[in-house]
Amino acid sequence: MIVGEQKPIETILSYIDGCENILLAGCHGCVTVCCTGGQKEVDILASMIELARKRLHQVCNITKMTQERQCDPEFLEELIAKSKENDVVVSMACGAGVQLVAEKIGAKRVFPAIDTNFIGAVQEKGIWLERCQTCGDCKLALTGGICPVTRCAKSLMNGPCGGSRNGICEVNSEIKCGWQMIIDRLEETGCLDQYETILEPADWSKSRDGGLRKLIREDLK
């Protein structure tokens, strides 16, 4: 999932300074799962904004709503309609959602309420760890389902390096060596012979060629 965290309330208040009618829009997607931008967080942020404005004796009218997904135009019709009744939109979606909303509503200003951090998974309640850097050249089939680009501090395609000691990375004593994890996983699954395969350098052109990445599924058009 995409993992994010809410911006400081002071930052959000600075965005909407002087705006009376505010549309606060959450998202039922990833940011709901990571407890950052769902309906509960929309309600809490709305209360925080209202209290801050009340202390300053400033008018504040907040319209609250949470869309199924802000990154999908199929679900933006109601949000677009509501935006016309407000001065600004404060989006609690990820960066992709914020940008699509801004694109669809035109001249109305759209502000992000959260910082998008990474694509990750739940380690335990309240803790998320990065798992994918969306390189576009996935090697998980050869590395036991453990990403060397993300889990290795140096993103080595073949390892471990000379800095690995007893399964611990030299970068930080609290970080497990990504390649030791890969080796252990390959051994556990009876696929240690795959470790002998030299992995070619990642094809970063699929993700970092300087332009916008696009995926087209002809069967869905």
Over the stretch 81-94, which tens digit does the pLDDT of each residue have? Answer: 999 999 999 999 99
Domain boundaries, the chain: 2-118, 136-206
DSSP state of 174: T
* Architecture of the domain defined by 2-118: 3-Layer(aba) Sandwich (3.40)
Over the stretch 63-109, which tens digit does the pLDDT of each residue have? Answer: 999 999 999 999 999 999 999 999 999 999 999 999 999 999 989 99
Contact 3, 119 (CB under 8 A): yes
- pLDDT exceeds cutoff 90 at 37: yes
Task: Tell me how crowded residue 30 is: count the other CB atoms within 10 A of its CB.
Answer: 23
Q: Measured on CA atoms in the order 175, 178, 180, 184, is the torsion positive or negative? A: positive
Over the stretch 201-221, which tens digit does the pLDDT of each residue have? Answer: 877 776 666 677 777 889 887
